[in-house]
Every structure is written in C-alpha cells, then in structure tokens.
Amino acid sequence: MSRDALVVGINTYSYERLSNLTAPGQDAEAVAKLLEDYGDFNVRRLPVTPDKENNIPRVALGRKVTLTQLEDAIAQLFKPEGRNIPDTALLYFSGHGLRKSRGGIHQGFLATSDVNPDVGNWGLSLQWLRQLLQSSEVKQQIIWLDCCYSGELLNFAEADPGDRGKGRDRCFIAASREFESAFEEIGTNHSVLTTALLQALEPKEKQVTNYTVVDVIDQNIAKFPQRPIFANSGGIIYLTRTQTKVEQTKEIVENAVTSNICPYRGLQYFDFTEEDAKYFYGRQAITDTLIEKVRQNNFLAVLGASGSGKSSVVRAGLLYQLQQGKKLSGSDTWQLRIFRPGEHPLQSLAQAFLDTDLSDIQRASQLQQAEELINKGSQGLGQLIDAASSERVMLVIDQFEEVFTLCQNSQERQHFFETLLTALQRCGRKLCLVLTMRADFFGKCAEYADLAAKIQENLLTITPMNRQELEQAITAPAKQENLTVEPELVEQIIDDMGDSPGILPLLQYTLTEIWQQRTGEGKLTLATYSRLGGVKGTLQKRTTEVYEGLSNEEQEAAKRIFLELTQLGEGTEDTRRRVLLRDLIPANNHVETRSQSVPKVNFASTTEQVIQKLADARLIVTQEETRENQKICGGGCSA
C-alpha cells in the first residue's frame, strides 16, 4: 500500500503586510518525522534542504515557496503522472492564510512566499484545490491546514472537495474558525494545532487513525485560544502505529473466538445506539452524504421504497455519527430529537421534547408545558428551539407517511405542516428538520404546496445497495463476532436479491435465520441458506411454519391481527400501521368467523399469546410503553 505525504512549512514572505514566521518550518518537520517513522509515509518536504550532518532532507526554515512550486507539488501528490497512484495522500500546510471578500463572495487561499494581493496574487486557491481533489483517483485524502482563518479556508462551500459518498475516505482539519487567528503554543516551538497533532500522531500504545486524531484535538479545545474544526468522511484512515501494535493485532486475530451474539437485526431497523451501529455496514457513502446535507442546510427529506433502509440509515448512520462527533466537528453537542407522527402528530411533536430519566410527575409537567407551546404553532416550537442550550437542534420525523395513513384530521395535519415549515424560517440554522418517508407518498404531499416544494428542493433518495455494499452488509457484521461467511453464500444472496429496492429487511431476516443454524465452527453456509429457501423464501416459509403451528382459534386471531396491522392504500401500496393492543380486541370480546368448526373466537383469551408467538418469530414488532398501551406493528417496520 503506497502512502505519500507533502509537508509544507512556509516561514518567509515577501509581501510587506505579512510578517515572517518561526513555527511553520518546525511544525512541518516534526509532522514529517512522525509520518516517516510511524506512518510508512513517503514524505516530500517543501521547502527542503539537506541535513549537512546526516545527509537527509529537512524542511528549510528560511527558504521561500512560490505559488508555482506549491501548485506543482500538490498536483503531483494527488494527480501524479503515470499509473502509480498512491492509496493514501496527505497534505499538511503551515503558514499564513488569506481570505478574499468581494461582492459577498468569500474565497480562501494558502499564502505562498510570493503573494501580493495588491497585484492580484493571493496564493494557492482553495477552489483550485477542490477541483483537483474531485478529479483525483487517490482513495484516501487527508488535508491538514494550520494557518490563520483556516476555518474560512475550509469553508465547505468552496474548500470541501465534494464528491462525498463515492468510495473515498477523507480527513480535513483546520486550525481555527473563519474569524479566528491561529497561535503558537506557549513554551513550545510549535503552533497550537500542530502541538495537538503531534500528541495525537505519537502512537504510544495505540494505533492512530483519523478518528483518534480528532478525539485528541476535541479533548483539548478548552485549552485553545482558537477552536480547531474538522470533518471526516468515508472509512477509517490509519495514520501511525508501532510494530508492537501490529504484532498485538495479529495475535488477537489468530486467537479470536466466536461469540453467541447475533450481528444481524432481523426485521427491526438499526437504531442510533452503539449496539446497533457496530453492525451497521454498507451505507457509509450515503451516510456521509446525509451528514454533508445537514451541515449545509436546515431541512432534509429522505425518501425511498418500503424496506429500502431509510430509518436505519438515518438512525444508525446519520444520527449515530452526529452523536459521536467524529465526522463533523461540534455535532456531538447538538440536541437530537426523534419521533414518529402517529395518529396525532402535534402531540407526538410535543412528546419529542420530553427529557429522559424523569419521574412520572416531572414528565407530566414537562409534557403539559410542551403541549401548550406546540399548540401555539410555530411560535411555540420556536420557543422550544430557542431555549435549547445546544448550537443546533436536530428534529427527526421518522416514517413521515404516518401523517397521511394514521392522522385522520386534515386540519391537524395542516397545522402540523405549518408549524414545522414556519418554525424553520423563524429559527434559521439552529433548527434542522429531517424526515424519512416512503417515496410513493410524495404525491400526497403535493396537496400541500409549501411542503411539497420544500421536499423537492431538499430531497435525497435512498437507492439500492450495490454489490460491494451488500457484501459488506453481509460479511462485516459477521467479522465483528469472528464468524465466517462462505463466499459462495455471499454471491448467491446478492444474485437472488437482484435490484429489488425494498428487500433489505428480508436480507437481515434471512441472515438472522442462517446465524441461528450456523455450524459449530461459527460458519454461515450456502447449504443452510438453500435449505431455508433463499432470501424471499425464508420469510414466507417461516410465516407459513408459524401459522400452521397455531391452533384453529389462534389462526383466526392471527388473521385478524395481520388485517388490523395493514393500512389499505388509496392509489398506493398497502402500508403497515401500529395498533394498540386494546384495539385488537372487539368490544364484545368475540369475532364471527367463516369457519364452521370455529363459530366464534374468544379473542381476548388468545390475543396476547398469539402476539407473543408472532413477535418471537420476528413476524411482528411490539413496543412496550405501558401495559395498557402496548403498540403492535407489522414486521416490515424495518423500513
């Protein structure tokens, strides 16, 4: 694996308004040494001079770097001539940064020694760097900028290389926000950011990645007179490590033991918990795209077919990554609120603002206050958002189609839409609204012009996974628990799935069933898969087996349960719906049947028993709120 780095430290400037510096050259050399000694990087220094005693290259402290030299060096790093493209390319820059503002348009530049803004020479354009990175074939791209106002230099509208979600891994770090200067650390010869970088890159007892680096920087933010910012996208990038760590990793792999934890989620969605996120694979690219969308805007509509994985990618992808704060600086301080509309969306919205770990009395009091504010419409919702101590409030409405399938009050629905959209205007960036919805319900939104326009302008469609993503979703969770998946099994499953957009729940269910019948050596086999009947046959076979195992009375109860769990569509597909347990029992506690052998069913006596059997078989999902208000929903709720 080839790994190239360009380390730039510019101390000397000709432009009279830019003072000469002392830290950049020393910063660059210290970073270069760590990358060479522990990162297996082939490092090029700029400017460079040979060490007279050891005859090795070092960063020259007093030499100049022209714009042409810097452009050529960066171009050679990310777009080298010939076919020898590095797997990883790292650019470190320390020196002055410049910002050009004209007509409300801001542009960022890396200042070279020959800059002279008076004659139009501002240095290396970040817009040019963006275009270069977009067209680069390097898979892992790392940009570290240690200069004043580098937050502006890393202003994503210009400096982010874009093209997120297309198989690249990227790490960007800037020394300060756009209105801040960058400083030298007192008592050292290095800048504040590079001091933290050097601490983070020193492998010591751990392997250093782009995520551990930003952890160290984040932990030291309180000590800085400036606030570094960062953004990671794609997968993990290994930066430095010790040989001891390599040997320890090999030993752990060789001595791995399989566990009894199922790494698949059956028919349930992946949630934004560590337990679920550790097994959530195959959606890295679209997760990065979601993160970039919410960074830029305050509204996002995530649409896709039923079973395409909308809820999972928003929960275990977007929300989990924001919660961790390792891909987007500061996102771990955001307030995350998530709910489903249900029959009364305004009430559900109020409940979304309840804090956890409250006593019943505290919960009732807070709910009353939230409902009173929500009843005021956008003004009340705006007050709830303004009262939040966090920089942003992320409000996620999962399975937005329930506004149409469950809410029967058109006035309440209209009020709900007006409250959300007007609050977005009032609150600006502080409120970010994300909704997931089945794509075939967009036509319903067309009846509400403002809502439809907002969705159309901020739409992201969940597309089917490609073969590489499906393979990762199948094999990577198994690897987490030291399980082996036969390559033939992976190929057969992917071939059987085809390009069906809503088959992901069946994939997870099938993998769960294969896991249940794994071999003693922890292997998931093609033979087991064939015996189960394949992806589509597994669920059908399982449903038939469970149904035929019920008594006549239980079968009648099961028929009624599944009918109640289905919301008939009007010009769209039938949809699943959530039902309270008490609503599954007829008022007279009996139901007439067409079967002569079963004239009447005492439904109350069998309902809970059948529900438990169906839930154990993962054909339905139950949500326990209170014993009286237990909610039941169809197993397809893993959308």
What's the pLDDT tens digit per position in 280-318? 999 999 999 999 999 989 999 999 888 889 999 999 999
217 vs 31, more confident: 31
Mean pLDDT lowest among 41-45, 53-57, 191-195, 250-254: 250-254
CA separation for the pair 10, 8 (Å, rounded): 6
Exposed / middle / buried, residue 493 (Cβ in 10 Å: 0-12, 13-18, 19+): buried
pLDDT at position 63: 94
Closest C-alpha among 455, 537, 475, 469 to residue 499: 469
Exposed / middle / buried, residue 166 (Cβ in 10 Å: 0-12, 13-18, 19+): exposed
- What interhelical angle do 504-516 and 467-480 show, nearest 10? 30
C-alpha dist (Å) from residue 528 to 331, 477, 504: 43, 18, 19
pLDDT at position 226: 63
- What interhelical angle do 126-135 and 67-78 show, nearest 10? 20
Query: Highest mean pLDDT range out of 226-235, 241-250, 303-312?
Result: 303-312
CA separation for the pair 511, 507 (Å, rounded): 6
C-alpha dist (Å) from residue 102 to 158, 177, 235, 592: 15, 20, 37, 77
pLDDT at position 627: 39
Provide CATH code, domain 3-245.
Answer: 3.40.50.1460
Closest C-alpha among 356, 398, 340, 346 to residue 631: 340
Q: What token pair was written down for 178?
A: 């756009």
Given a cut of 70, is residue 80 above it in pLDDT? yes
- What residues have CB less than 8 Å from 534, skipping those under 6 apart? 492, 496, 510
Side chain identity, residue 212 = T
Split at pLDDT 50, 70, 90, the class of 437 is very high
**Beta pairing class for 124-125 and 57-59:** unpaired
Side chain identity, residue 83 = R
Determine contact, residues 609/549, Cβ cutoff 8 Å. Answer: no
Q: What token pair was written down for 187?
A: 């008592």
Mean pLDDT lowest among 123-132, 406-415, 593-602: 593-602
256 vs 338, more confident: 338
Split at pLDDT 50, 70, 90, the class of 564 is confident
Burial pattern 58-81, b for ≥16 Cβ within 10 A else e, equals bbbbeeebbbebbbebbeebbebe
CA separation for the pair 621, 559 (Å, rounded): 16
Mean pLDDT lowest among 28-42, 88-102, 143-157: 143-157
Determine contact, residues 24/16, Cβ cutoff 8 Å. Answer: no
Provide CATH code, domain 283-461.
Answer: 3.40.50.300
pLDDT at position 628: 44
Split at pLDDT 50, 70, 90, the class of 225 is low
Arithmetic mean of pLDDT over the chain:
84
**Beta pairing class for 229-233 and 169-174:** antiparallel
pLDDT at position 340: 95
Given a cut of 80, is residue 211 above it in pLDDT? yes
Q: What token pair was written down for 444?
A: 């319903």
| DSSP characters over 515-564 | HHT--TTSEE-HHHHHHHTHHHHHHHHHHHHHHHTS-HHHHHHHHHHHHH
Given a cut of 50, is residue 230 above it in pLDDT? yes
pLDDT at position 177: 61
C-alpha dist (Å) from residue 183 to 123, 157, 227: 21, 25, 11
Domain 467-541: which topology?
Helicase, Ruva Protein; domain 3 (1.10.8)
Side chain identity, residue 155 = N
Query: Highest mean pLDDT range out of 126-130, 249-253, 589-593?
Result: 126-130
**DSSP 3-state assignment of 199?**
helix
Given a cut of 70, is residue 470 above it in pLDDT? yes
Residue 231: beta bridge partners? 172, 328
